[in-house]
Structure 1
Amino acid sequence: MTILIADDDTDDRMFMEKALRQSGYAHTIQFVEDGEDLMHYLLRQGRYTEQNAPWPDLLVLDLNMPRKNGFQALSEIKDDPKLRRLPVVVMTTSSADEDVIKTYNLGVNSFVTKPFNFNRLVEMVSALKTYWMDTVKLP
């Protein structure tokens, strides 16, 4: 199983990987740094091939990224018949109602606000891992 994390913040990527590992996730974690890189990854463009970019079982998407933000990337993913079945969890610092509504209108599967405490992040990531990797049947 592979989790793809799209987040431009180096520290957030490091904390997510640590939290996933601490929660017992032992599979592949891939990272991209912005929405354009994300779309290249998913569409197997540029430097991304099947050998170095395994197909993700789950995408964790930040909204605030350079070049192409999370809203734009989410819209493209859910509009593409080949990509739309990919489960997407938005994990962002925002808790604004308009962001929650907009992402659900675009087809996101879950919306969570990033916690500011590492222990809380581990709890959240553990719950996401349990739900998305152990409980639901993915396409």
Structure 2
Amino acid sequence: MSVPKKKYFDILLVEDNPADVRLTMEALEELEEEKRLFVAKDGEEAIDFVKGEGEFVGASRPDLILLDLNLPKKNGLEVLEELKSDPEFKRIPVVVLTTSGAERDIMATFNLHANSYIQKPVEYDNFLEAMATLRIYWFQTSRLPPK
């Protein structure tokens, strides 16, 4: 018996920079699979969204989280630590998508069980290429855990 193919993916983008939100949305528009993209503008909103609390009661649990590190209220490392220490949410794949290329940030995210780390390319075309690679890996090659 085969499992029916999922009709869409829920992606939570945790990003406070409106220009980066627009760029990421544009880059993910070409996702061949249907997707629903939700945006949290700070770390506290991200936690509320994933847990379905506050203004996000009834929100769909994301299949994948794209997480910036430099966030207001609760930074990306704090968000990552909280999610990965909770048995209910630790299997949600988290891709850190940040401008930082610092080795200490890379080590810290993997120590907190991030699933991937992508340094945001500065050049527009390079950013689109990085997002295309992300799409291919997470939505065509890899199998995401069930909700």
TM-score (norm 2): 0.89
Q: Deviation at 1:122?
A: 1.1
The equivalences for 1:102-121 within 5 A come to 102-121=108-127
The aligned runs of 1:55-94 (5 Å cut-off) are 55-94=61-100
Q: Which residue of 1 aligns with 2:132?
A: 126
Distance 1:54 1:63 in 2: 23
Show the counterpart of 2:3. none
Give the AA of the match of 1:42: V
- In the other structure, the counterpart of 1:3 is 11
1:49-90 deviation digits (Å, cap 9, x = unpaired)? 22xx22211100000000000000000000000000000000
The runs of 5 or more residues in structure 2 that have no matched partner are 1-8
The reply to whether residue 40 of structure 1 matches residue 48 of structure 2 is: yes
Task: Give the whole-Å Cα distance in 1 for the aligned partners of 2:61 and 2:31.
Answer: 22
Cα RMSD (Å):
1.1
The 3-state SS of whatever aligns with 1:129 is: helix
Aligned residues, how many?
A: 137
Task: Describe the superposition over 1:84-120 as per-residue Cα deviations: whole angstroms up to 9, x where unpaired.
Answer: 0000000100000000000000000000100111111
Aligned pairs (5 A) from 1:47-58: 47-50=55-58, 53-58=59-64
- Provide the rounded CA distance (Å) in 2 between the counterparts of 1:22 and 1:115: 19
Separation of aligned partners in 2, 1:129 and 1:56: 15
Larger Rg: 2
**More contact order relative to length (CA 8 Å, sep ≥ 6):** 1
Going from structure 1 to structure 2, the CA distance change for 1:40 and 1:17 (only over 3 Å counts) comes to same
2:123 alignment partner AA: N
Judging changes above 3 Å, is the alpha-carbon distance between structure 1 residues 43 and 24 closer, same or farther for their aligned structure 2 residues? same
Q: Are the counterparts in 1 of residues 52 and 60 from structure 2 also a CA contact under 8 Å?
A: no
Give the corresponding residue for 1:16: 24
Counterpart contact for 2:52–2:61, Cα < 8 Å: no
Give percent identity, aligned residues only.
Answer: 37
Shift of 1:137: 1.2
Q: 1:96 aligns with which of 77, 102, 106?
A: 102
